[in-house]
Structure 1
């Protein structure tokens, strides 16, 4: 299967701090890849490199330029404006005419079950509702790949279930998902593949069943400890 993106020997640094070290990674269309590891292991940085927000200091990254992608942050930003405006702004900034952008926004809000809140001030929403607005904003861009940075962090259980349902719905429609998560139950439910990271390196890259049911081998001892809750 052709790759959406392929990384070889990729490094990234924040000043003197090396956040990514020698990353080799290939992601094919339709995969659901979970990035896991302790805080500071490089998951968020890798997502931003994949989205093109950060440029690697070394190594190579090759993308299929025909593929559209969108990134949903852990804490989505909202302008002090209507929910509809916040969603429509994303495709408009990508060059879509405003009338079409508003129509896409209405459809996207319907997709995430928020059409009745279209005219509400986005900053008046709950955390779970705002995360669903972020999904709608991403969907309005009509992406082939959705990148998500801890999409259910700090949400209550009901909101987490709603967001997970959206992720599953998008994946069932053929969208490629790459998401960072500390929730191993979520990873088991949604991922087809697990990438375990530590100190900027990929230490394990395995199908989800193999990762959780092991054994992973000596090179992935840290991953086994992480799954058991002894690291993190």
Structure 2
């Protein structure tokens, strides 16, 4: 229910209470000015009682459970949205030190377009993004594999999130669609799935425009989720 609709219900409740107080406690001992004024007052009184009863019933049966559900839904949608942000924040990992990497969605770490381009020029498509650890071995995860996994994960997250579409704000839906429709997500497979055309020494600068576009859209979602006005 929209805020203005909720406000209307509350104002009607207040009005009903005022009518009951007026009719039963203020005007009860006053001589009738209008013909059949008492009967008219009784109708208003009964309607007011009926509305108050209906409002209480609505709160118990509909509104309170709905608020509880909305809280659970909000937690679920936030978890999925922050999952998208987390994936996007790790699209490249510019080194901050030998031990740590820079989270590029952190507002304190926002980088410019030229800085992002330099990062892409320094990283190869087949460079190591991370390592996969199992009981028996440690295997390399290249940027190529990482990009494929990120695209797949975000598309899956979008499907999960849009299952809650009736509960999402318009701006939230718009930001998610912008990410999913970004060139990296919507067209990246043309580059990433055809490994025969990729040079083993290929740097990421050839993908820089779509990666930076993706990065900026992830930042917009991050700001939205943290309540920063766009």
TM-score class, shorter: under 0.3
Relative contact order higher in (CA < 8 Å, ≥ 6 apart): 1
Larger radius of gyration: 2
TM-score by length of 1: 0.23
| Structure 1 or 2: more strand by fraction | 1
TM-score by length of 2: 0.23
